[in-house]
Amino acid sequence: MPIPFIDLQAQRTRLGQPLEDAILKVVRSGAYIMGPEIGEFEKQLAAFGQAPFALSCGSGTEALVLPLMAWGIGPGDAVFCPSFTFAATAEAMPLVGASPVFVDIEPDTYNLDPQSLDAAIAQVKRDGKLTPRAVIAVDLFGQPADYPAIAEVARRHGLKLIADSAQGFGCTLDGRHPIHWADVATTSFFPAKPLGCYGDGGAVLSKDERLHDLLVSLRVHGQAVKSDIDGKTFEHDPKYLNVRIGMNSRMDTIQAAVLLQKLTIFADEIEARNRVADRYVQGLGDLVRTPRVIDGGVSVWAQYTIETPNRDGLAAALREQGVPSAVYYPIPIHKQGVYSVYPTAPGGLPVTEAKASQVISLPMHPYLTADDQDQVIAAVGAFVKTNR
């Protein structure tokens, strides 16, 4: 039987009848959009992520766009982000008319390099063509970025900081979630994520009540919220009083019901993912370059990514042994035609470009059995030893 890259069915089996009951409850209720499960999920998500507020939305991409809209970021503004990430990170800026500025990564964690960030901001300021407004740090492959250092740079330059935790929701640094340093933390609930639903979904965690209020409005077509109608008379549904340009970014109630069930086992799954990662290090540490987690960090291991100079050869050898693999990301964003027009940090992105040709991800999920993992390790080992 093939080894699954991510085993969502094992998780579904573990959750069992309560999961199916939760879905059926929503189906029977008829409250398919913004039903009561939405509010309960947002409450529990905020508590898990150590944030005062959480707002569910339609996708991880929209979770990034919403705070940019709330802050009035648009044409002529610069938002700094890594190029070694999924396109959604950079896509958020053009969607509001702003410009991404691509920054290099650290060679051991693959996350945003604070020194490259500082240099990029200084360069944009010298050029005078764009106004620096925000930074998006990515918790790539599940581990936290260097938030103390990144936040220091962002604050010194007066920029907002977004923690893009699409792959890393649940990760911590010195026991704290990214929202401790960031103005907002965003995530995706795409099914393959460590905390995933059964469709599309996302969320924005925040600390500022006024900002959360704006996000609530922007999520539903710019509808009036309490702060908009205080002291005014409007006796109808506030969704018919539209006080700003927003979007339709509501999460389906069924997705919230699924996520409520998954939250009950999420902490345990994070521990299981780390046991799998530790076992990979034991088996592969002398053969290939294995991931290094930032000091004090706990990863949720969205992917387990190793480095090899013959990435394509290893991928082919693994396929022959029935072992799946994936490459994140073979073409950095700044090298793709539609994004190549945007600025990069001074000196370019040499680390990003080097890593893009070397990284390959192995099966990783909380239910990876010892026997399957041994097969993965043996297949990698056989290729490395043969091709040394």
Q: What is the DSSP string of 272-309?
A: HHHHHHHHHHHHHTTTSB---PPTTEE---S-EEEE-T
Q: Amino acid identity of 187?
A: T
Those residues with Cβ within 8 angstroms of residue 365's Cβ, 6 or more apart along the chain or in another chain: 4, 5, 6, 7, 10, 11, 273, 276
Q: Lowest-pLDDT range, 151-155, 213-217, 236-240, 266-270?
A: 236-240
> What is the average per-residue pLDDT within 73-86?
98
- Continuous segment of H or E residues that includes residue 78: strand 77-82
Predicted confidence at residue 65, as pLDDT, reads 98
What's the CA gap between 236 and 238, in Å, rounded?
Answer: 6
Q: Answer yes or no: 193 catalytic.
A: yes
How far is residue 217 CA from its own chain's centroid? 23
Per-residue pLDDT averaged across 229-240, rounded? 78
* pLDDT at site 153: 98
Contacts of 175 (CB under 8 A, 6+ apart): none
Best CA proximity match to 215, nearest among 62, 88, 96: 62
Q: Is 282 exposed, middle or buried (0-12, 13-18, 19+ CB in 10 A)?
A: exposed
Distance CA 171, CA 138 (A): 12
**pLDDT recorded at residue 233:** 75
Exactly one of 160, 193, 262, 355 is catalytic; name it: 193
Hey, what domains does the chain have and what are their CATH numbers?
8-261 (3.40.640.10), 267-386 (3.90.1150.10)
Q: What's the average model confidence in pLDDT over 185-200?
A: 98
User: What pairing do the DSSP bridges indicate for beta strands 202-206 and 184-188?
Assistant: antiparallel
CA distance 289 to 359: 9
